[in-house]
Amino acid sequence: MQFRGGQPGFLKAVDEKTLGFADFKGNVQYVTVGNLDENDKAFLFLMDYRHRRRLKIWGRAMYVEDDSELIESLKLPNYEAEVERVIVFHIEAWNWNCPQHIPIRYSEQEVAALQARITELEELVAKKQQI
């Protein structure tokens, strides 16, 4: 499947062994749809850079365009993009992978909070130097 990403919670549990996510109208390349038409074997590679964790999930995937109830259940709240279809992923195996070579990355919010704290500490240091 082609790379997917989104706000936290975009990948949802449908049941004990099934994941799903909304597939939004986009660049009209249909890479995932075309690949799934040929071969339903798929692989999810889920990264948590902040905590240096990587989960690999193997299974079979399909796209669904005509199940309004399923599509509605996989929509993202407060996200206005039009859902074109959903991708349903049936899990066959999974494995937590070694974190050794995963670089630590921080979210924009974490960086902003750290920058605000640095500014606050610099102001405190400047005040102390004036005394």
Q: How many helices (H) and strands (E) would you count in the chain?
A: 3, 5
Look up tokens 């004990």; give the residue.
16
* Span 33-54, pLDDT tens digits: 878 888 999 999 898 888 899 9
Output the CA–CA distances (angstroms, integers) from residue 31 to 1, 99, 123, in the order listed: 7, 29, 51
Confidence band for 30, pLDDT divided at 50, 70 and 90: low
Contacts of 32 (CB under 8 A, 6+ apart): 1, 2, 23, 63, 87
56-112, pLDDT tens digit by residue? 999 999 999 999 999 999 998 888 888 889 999 999 999 998 888 889 898 899 999
For residue 81, the model assigns a pLDDT of 83
